Amino acid sequence: MFLDVAKLAGGSDRRIEILKSAAAAFRRRGYHGASVDEIASALDMTKGNLYYYFQNKEEILFACHDYSLDVLLTLMEQVRAEESPPDDKLRKLILAFVHMLLDELQGTALTLDLQALSPLLLKRIIAKRDRFDRGLREIIQQGIESGLFRPGDAKLIGFAIMGAVNWITKWFDPAGPMSSEAIGRGFADYLVGGLFALPASYSAVSPGFNSNT
Amino acid sequence: MFLDVAKLAGGSDRRIEILKSAAAAFRRRGYHGASVDEIASALDMTKGNLYYYFQNKEEILFACHDYSLDVLLTLMEQVRAEESPPDDKLRKLILAFVHMLLDELQGTALTLDLQALSPLLLKRIIAKRDRFDRGLREIIQQGIESGLFRPGDAKLIGFAIMGAVNWITKWFDPAGPMSSEAIGRGFADYLVGGLFALPASYSAVSPGFNSNT
DNA sequence: TCACGATTTGAACGCTCGTTTAAACTGGTG
DNA sequence: CACCAGTTTAAACGAGCGTTCAAATCGTGA
């Protein structure tokens, strides 16, 4: 079920360790706010040593994004290959995304500063991100066209879902009362369940408000 | 209808200008990535001059957050005072939030680096943000308890909505084809429309998948 | 034990940036 | 014109950070 994340980054174990430490630091302090020394110290190594594995700080940020996106794209391919209705696909995607985000990627996916990358590297990351976005929109669009979901702008809905999910890292507390599974289920219930076509009585005009509190 | 934003920040016109320039810079490059000189240059002033209006860079970030939250809280109070069903309140809140975010606050609300603030200032901002979050949850909870919305975790749903909306600043292009009003409407349709209670046939088990593509 | 490539260290370098400060400028008032 | 508070400037400082590099250390096979 789970991906072999180590193989995706195309690097040694040490490179992966560095990426995880860097991702955590970038998430906490932002790209510019996190120092190279901070990333290295967390691994009990000197900052100079990082430059044996990466050319510079920017390459580390790039690798973080590239790594996360590879994980997400592999996930997307798995889901797309399935023979199931769009709501099932979407639900599975959200569940897995949340799990990846919180349990595997340490809360770091698309939250990291993109604009800190130079144009060339930025372009490559955006291209990958767009592949994921398009896959997501396709699933939503299929649901709408089949009549399972009510009409809507698939692109807008896709952005809304991505925003809701990525935002989790801003408030999630691993030591808090909510498990990543519970969050995934709650989000899937709301974000997928909210797409279904509604009977006529639920159209633009809201139904009678029956206050019984 | 619209708030007099200038009065909320409790400062001179020049302070407001600085805040807007700073907010734009912080959003583009992040707090640590944006230089004080960059903020000043955009206003044709020298960086030293900023220190006539603010004690230091951190105070500027704090004022940005404080200002945005005051705008949002005033909005929240307006909506709460209304006598209308929860879905209307929620819809109005989302529409106004998106409008504020994109047209007034230049894409900057809660996206700015919070953790760059020192503990004391951070505490004050979080307290204000929590007031907004609680207001949002109350509206959702009322909808659930009245049976208008289907059952769910109001806290989780609130986070999802805030995430979806705040994430807009990550992809919105003012020069793009989508107006802020269209985005607001699309988001409200999805995020509020997706909360309504569903008939029995729409429960956990998905209805028959009728592919007609 | 020796040799050699892979890995790590610690110090040093420049450069950027936040902040300070004294001096200069502005516009209005007596 | 002289005065003065409010505002702006230009230059300088000092600290922190990304990066480099020569030397030291490690691990392994002969």
User: What burial class does residue B53 get, using C-beta atoms within 10 Å of its C-beta: 0-12 exposed, 13-18 middle, 19+ buried?
Assistant: middle
Interatomic CA distance for residues B53 and B19, integer angstroms: 10
Which band of pLDDT confidence, cut at 50, 70 and 90, is reported for residue A200? very low
pLDDT at B205 over 50: no
pLDDT at A4 over 60: no
Which band of pLDDT confidence, cut at 50, 70 and 90, is reported for residue A11? low
Take residue A101 and report the two structure tokens written for it.
């985000």
CA A189, A195, A199 angle in degrees (round to 5)?
115
> How far is the alpha carbon of B211 from chain A, nearest alpha carbon, in Å?
5
- Average pLDDT score over residue span A64-86: 94
By Cβ distance, the residue of B30, B86, B209 closest to A148 is: B209
| Closest by Cα among A54, A61, A3 to A27 | A61
Chain A 57-96, CB below 8 Å of chain B: which residues? 85-88
Interatomic CA distance for residues A162 and B140, integer angstroms: 21
Q: What is the pLDDT of residue B111?
A: 81
Question: Closest nucleotide to residue B54 (Cα to C1')?
Answer: C19
pLDDT digit string (tens) for B81-139?
A: 999 999 999 999 999 999 999 988 776 777 888 999 999 999 999 999 999 999 999 99
Give me the residue label for tokens 């999802």.
B160
Mark residue B100 as left, alpha or beta (left: phi above 0; alpha: psi -120 to 50; beta: remaining).
alpha
Interface residue A10 vs chain B (CB under 8 A): no
Q: What is the pLDDT of residue A1?
A: 36
pLDDT digit string (tens) for A83-100?
A: 999 999 999 999 999 999
Question: Closest nucleotide to residue A40 (Cα to C1')?
Answer: C8
Distances (CA, A) of B164 to B13, B67, B94, B101, B207: 32, 21, 10, 12, 27
Rg (CA), chain A: 20
**Measured on CA atoms in the order A111, A113, A119, A120, is the torsion positive or negative?**
negative
Q: What is the pLDDT of residue A199?
A: 59
pLDDT at B154 over 70: yes
Interatomic CA distance for residues A27 and A41, integer angstroms: 16
Domains of chain A: 58-197 (1.10.357.10)
pLDDT digit string (tens) for A25-51?
A: 999 999 999 999 999 999 999 999 999
- Average pLDDT score over residue span A119-126: 96
- Nearest residue to nucleotide D16, by CA–C1' distance, is A35
Helix (H, G, I), strand (E, B) or coil at B196: strand
- Protein CB footprint (7 Å) on chain D nucleotides: 7-11, 16-22
Q: Do A32 and B28 touch (CB under 8 A)?
A: no
CA B134, B137, B142 angle in degrees (round to 5)?
125
Residue count of chain A, please give it.
213
pLDDT digit string (tens) for B13-59?
A: 899 999 999 999 999 999 999 999 999 999 999 999 999 999 999 99
Mean pLDDT computed over every residue of chain B? 87
- Average pLDDT score over residue span A138-148: 95
Q: Are B182 and B174 in contact (CB under 8 A)?
A: no
Buried b or exposed e, range B183-202, using 16+ CB within 10 angstroms? bbbbbbbbbbbbbbbbeeeb
DSSP letter at A88?
H
Interface residue B118 vs chain A (CB under 8 A): no
CA of A45 to C1' of C2 (A): 29
Chain A 160-179, CB below 8 Å of chain B: which residues? 160-168, 170-171, 178
User: Which residues are registered as beta bridge partners of A196?
Assistant: A149
